[in-house]
Amino acid sequence: MFADQGLSDGQISLLFLIWSVVGIVAEVPTGAIADRFSRRGCLTAGSVAQALGYAVWMALPGFTGYAPGFVLWGLGGALASGSLEALLYDGLKTFGATKHYSRLLGRITAAGLIAQLPAALAATVLFQLGGYALVGWLSVGCCLTAAGLAWLLRDIRPVGNYARTGDASSGPDIGPVPEVSEDDEIDDDDTGLGYFATLRVGIVEAVAAPAVRGLVLVVAALTGLDALEEYFTLVALDWGVPVPWIPLAALGIPLVGAAGTWWMAHRSPTKKPFTSGVLALALGAGALLLALSEWFGEPAGLVGIAVFYGLYQVVMVAVNTRLQDAITGPARATVNSVAGLLSELAAIAIYGLWALEGLSLIASLILLLALLMPLAMRRRTHDGPAATPTRS
């Protein structure tokens, strides 16, 4: 669409840069907004912002319309980043059901991956019927529908949280969460802390609490690896897959990823969580498969990439669950947003590594990450500097 409107390669690259910069700048501040006010509200606003971005594209085709559209889309992504995980985990924590978090996250991730199939088919048909305009305006409608569904979610947070009681002496470790009835639930924006205090508490826990810091780094690095998905079709082309078959060949990769997360979703919550060693072994095995697939350089090598992607998604869900379990302060979305910010930087590094050496260098980096994971994920106490919340 951008090329058909006469944009140069430089202008298209500039649009992607605008998109990335907005996401990086807005990531952590919007996480604090979700913690201070409403995670449900941020999820809703994120979808509305994305809808407005697409609407601007349709109404003002050309660089002057696409640039503000990307700003809105980047802002929408930042509003949603971290908010969903925080809303899900604290909602479960309120009723002592956090053991189901990995199942719920696995189902959500699997659904998102599987949705690529009907979305791709629908886009193909819709484009034939009404071109970019039909695809674009229906995309606006999809985003607004998502916003409406997000607004139906309940933003419930546990009582006993020091940010809500104003008890600054308890630090980030809030201790056990008491059982509550529906009448005791605290919804949306009753946080007790001002915005800047919430922002500070979240950042301090993310960077100063040893039990959280290592997991934030691991989650960020793993999330950044998802940038590889952008290159799957190019890999298929380089390995000799005929162009008409590339969409079908590449589609198998996210489907295997969905199978991995779906398996995680249906793994019994009574089973012991995977140890850091097992997760590192799974990621390392996936990295070796990537390297072997690159070495062979044949269409069949896409099977190796698919298996890697399935293992990667399993590790991603497991480590994200570990991070949520480690966060004890009130600014859960802010901590998640710090990981999101670092993951954007990790993704940029993946783009650079691809330009240098392609898949082999990235596979080596993933293997190094697998070796370092057990060290970064060691259980430690919150012996770092405690955040002292103040009202503002």
Q: Domain holding 267: CATH number?
A: 1.20.1250.20
First to last CA, the chain: 46
Query: Are 390 and 196 contacting, i.e. CB atoms less than 8 angstroms apart?
Result: no
Domain-embedded: residue 343: yes
Q: Say which amino acid occupies 165.
A: T
Percent of the chain with pLDDT over 70: 88
User: pTM (2 decimals)?
Assistant: 0.82
Domain-embedded: residue 324: yes
Domain-embedded: residue 132: no
Q: How many CA atoms lie within 13 A of 73 on its CB side?
A: 20
Domain-embedded: residue 161: no
pLDDT digits (tens, 9 = 90+) for 263-289: 888 886 777 888 999 999 999 999 999
Domain-embedded: residue 166: no
Crossing angle of helices 39-59 and 63-80, rounded to 10°: 170
Domain that holds residue 231: 199-377
- The pLDDT value given to residue 158: 78
Domain-embedded: residue 269: yes
H/E stretch holding 379? none
pLDDT digits (tens, 9 = 90+) for 333-381: 999 999 999 998 998 888 888 878 778 889 999 999 999 999 988 765 4
Total domain count, the chain? 1
Domain-embedded: residue 81: no
**Nearest to residue 257, comparing CAs of 280, 296, 286?**
286
Domain-embedded: residue 326: yes
Residue range 324-330: mean pLDDT, rounded: 92
Rg (CA), the chain: 21
**Nearest to residue 121, comparing CAs of 255, 302, 247, 229?**
247
Q: How many CB atoms lie within 10 A of CB 346?
A: 21
pLDDT digits (tens, 9 = 90+) for 131-147: 999 999 999 999 999 99
Statement: residue 54 has pLDDT above 90: yes
